[in-house]
Amino acid sequence: MIGFPLMQVVHRLSLYACPVSAGFPSPADDYLEGRLDLNQYLIKHPTATFFVRVTGDSMIGAGIHTGDILIVDRALEARDGKVIIAVVNGELLVKRLRIEKKKVYLASENSDYPPLVITDLMDFEMWGVVTTVIHPL
Amino acid sequence: MNSIALVDCNNFYVSCERAFQPWLQGKPMVVLSNNDGCVVARSPEAKALGIAMGTPLFRIRDQITQHNIHVFSSNYSLYGDLSQRVMASLQQFSPMVEIYSIDEAFLGLTSNQHHSEYGQLMRRVIKQQVGIPVSVGIAPTKVLAKVAMEVAKRSESGVFCLACGEDAEPILRTMPIGAMWGIGQRLTEWFTARGITTALQFKYADSGLVHRKMGVVGQRLRMELHGIPCLPLELIPKTKHETGVSRSFAEPITTLTDLQTAMAVFVSRAAEKLRRQGQLASVMAVFARTSHFVESPMAIFHTVALPAPTNYTPVLLKWSGAILQVIFRPGYLYKKAGVVMSGLQPMSHRQGDLFDQSLSLEREKQLMDVVDQLNGRFGRDTINFGITRKRQDWRTRCTRRSPRFTTCWDELPTVKAGTFEVTPQSRPLFVILAPDQRGMFSGAPPLGS
């Protein structure tokens, strides 16, 4: 039983920049703030955030390449100009949302692909808003 | 007066599959149990085709081909993750959330809320943010919330409110007693024999009669039907008293070595569970049995009290191997095996024994922490114990499992940046993007193709 609490103390100290037994404590110890956390920075709504992988080049003008990972926040409101994930006829697509007067269309960022006007006949659903592209260099 | 909202995910496993495979919307589909044994979830379209819950896969092969039913192995990584997201989202609607099962939760609501609208809001938010459709039943008590749920599920709006006990009576009148929460097969027969066939009759049944048969549990059920709350929300999850892992084998096991290997995997998993729950086991039971359907079914079983409570995999492996050595009987086809850990206690209460081992206990803990962290980061079985690697082919059969869309970098959903397909019908059911490290999943083509 004697050794057990001792081990716990050693554990706790290891969090600091230097152990007390080494002499003077590091002057930085009072300023330790924890590492920067990308999750915290990039994800505002953890329960509503999903990652998806891109295939195709129609969004290349927005810096979205094939093979990239997108961070999608489903809690954000899809507004005009946002890059969104939409379900069109049962398929997940990444497009830029355009809302003009009463017309809604999905634009590409590549002149090879014409915009798609959403009509009542289409099976259309807003899936989420893209907040970030993860693109390895 | 305060109210209880019951939130239930609609056809949960099916909805999870559809959240990332929207082309499955409106298609008949089923999800199979572990080992692809029988149907555990059905889409409304599959229900309409008359496929019953629990039907073995082999019984519906013809229907699958005929109606082009999509068949999935269960994907618990996906269901578990989406369940956690639904439950976390519910916290924004009430500080009082009782997680009742993987797809159900009770919420405490205060009286100043417009309940129907609030229910609608929950539905909208969960659908948009997590992608899972839910139904909401709201009533003064848990039992009445269950009753409200029966109506909500069948309604267009997906939300149903009962303001008080009397409001429920028209529903209870047509509700068979067996459909009530907490009334199983046996009780149904018992009450039916005494002329009590509907929930309404149960509500007004003789209190002494109910008490005699069901004790205080029955009394509470009856009170709750009257609108008097007797079952409070359980906001702190119950600590588990037992934890276990068992599997059926696709191919029966016949030798001691193979059984020990299989058992080693189950024990490793169970130990992992214990550590995740912060618990130690003081009793371990291992068992193996033949199929129930052979001429002379046989089971071997042994329980051992561990010298000191532990969740340290090597110690548990040593015991399970030794037990099997003793109880194994050759000449049988073992179809199922497993391990159950009991006598659980929190790790924080660990007692040292007479010969102080705290230093080695701490080392054991550090080793297990490292193992769990590596497996957590790089996927299950990144590192494991040698014995578990000997034989692999009895492992879970799940050839039709969809990708682990939310828990595995190699299996993320793909979104298309390109031309629009007008008819996505020709799409394959799914493709596993990266073969599993263990080569377990071959990404088999859909049934009936």
- CA-nearest of B309, B236, B311, B307 to B277 is B311
B contacts of A50 (beta carbons < 8 Å) = 405-406, 413
**Residue A92 forms part of a structural domain:** yes
The band of B343, judged by pLDDT with boundaries at 50, 70 and 90, is confident
Q: Which of residues 176-205 of B touch A (CB under 8 A)?
A: none
- A81 and A120 fall within a common domain: yes
Q: Residues A35, A63: one domain?
A: no
- Give the distance from CA B30 to its chain's centroid: 16
Q: Which of A44, A58, A101, A102 is catalytic?
A: A58
Residue A1 domain-assigned?
no
What's the gap in Å between the CA of A111 and the closest CA on chain B? 11
pLDDT (average), residues A46-62: 95
A63 lies in the same domain as A122 = yes
Q: Of B142, B105, B152, B136, nearest to B225 (Cα)?
A: B142
- Asked whether residue A22 is assigned to any structural domain, the reply reads yes
Active site residue A58: yes
pLDDT at B303 over 50: yes
Residues A102, A122, single domain; the answer is yes
Q: Which band of pLDDT confidence, cut at 50, 70 and 90, is reported for residue B433?
A: very low
Q: CB A54 to CB B412 under 8 A?
A: no
Predicted confidence (pLDDT) at residue B329 exceeds the cutoff of 50: yes
Distance CA A70, CA A83 (A): 10
Residue A2 in domain? no
Q: What is the pLDDT of residues B221-250, one digit of tens each?
A: 999 999 999 988 887 766 667 888 888 887
Best CA proximity match to B272, nearest among B406, B368, B187: B368
Does residue A61 sit within a domain? Answer: yes
Whether residue B447 is predicted with pLDDT greater than 60 in this model: the reply is no
Whether A55 and A83 map to the same domain: the answer is yes
Specify whether A34 is located in the same domain as A81.
Answer: no
- A26: in domain: yes
The set of residues, in sequence order, having a beta carbon less than 8 Å from that of B287 and lying 6+ positions away, is B246, B299, B300, B301, B302, B337, B338, B339, B340
The predicted pLDDT at position B366 comes to 83
String of b and e for B281-312 (b: at least 16 CB within 10 Å)? beebbbbbbbeeeeeeeeebebeeebeebbbb
Distance, in Å, from the CA atom of B24 to the CA atom of B314, rounded to the nearest integer, reads: 45
Q: B262: which 2 tokens? A: 């299989």
Residue B213 Cα distances to B202, B205, B210, B437, angstroms: 12, 12, 5, 54
Do A32 and A82 belong together in one domain? no
In one-letter notation, the amino acid at residue B417 is A
In terms of domains, do A52 and A110 share one? yes
Interchain CB contact of B362 with A (< 8 Å): yes
Q: What are B397's strand-pairing partners? A: none
- Closest Cα to residue B246, out of B285, B220, B194? B285
SS3 (DSSP) at B440: coil
Q: Identify whether A72 is part of a domain.
A: yes
In this structure, are A56 and A119 located in the same domain?
A: yes
Quote the distance between the C-alpha of residue B392 and its chain's center: 25
What pLDDT is attached to residue A136? 93
Residue of B356, B366, B416 to mutate, interface with A, max A Cβ within 10 Å? B416
A34 and A95 both lie in a single domain: no
Backbone phi, psi, residue A115, to 5°: -65, 155
CATH of the domain at A110: 2.10.109.10
Domains of chain A: total: 2
CB pairs under 8 A between A and B: 111
> A119 and A52 in one domain?
yes
Which residue segment(s) compose the domain that A34 sits in? 7-42
Q: What is the pLDDT of residues B32-57, one digit of tens each?
A: 987 787 899 999 999 999 999 888 88
Distance between CA atoms of residues B447 and B65, nearest Å: 7
Contact between B85 and A48 using a beta-carbon 8 Å cutoff: yes
Which of B29-43, B272-286, B394-408 is least confident? B394-408
B33 to chain A, closest Cα gap in Å: 26
Q: For position B37, what pLDDT does the model report?
A: 79
Same domain, A80 and A111: yes
Residues B201-216 pLDDT 10s: 999 998 888 888 888 8
User: Is residue A130 one of the residues assigned to a domain?
Assistant: yes
Per CB-CB distance under 8 Å, the chain A contacts of B431 are none
Rounded to an integer, what distance in angstroms lies between the CA atom of residue B175 and that of residue B200?
8
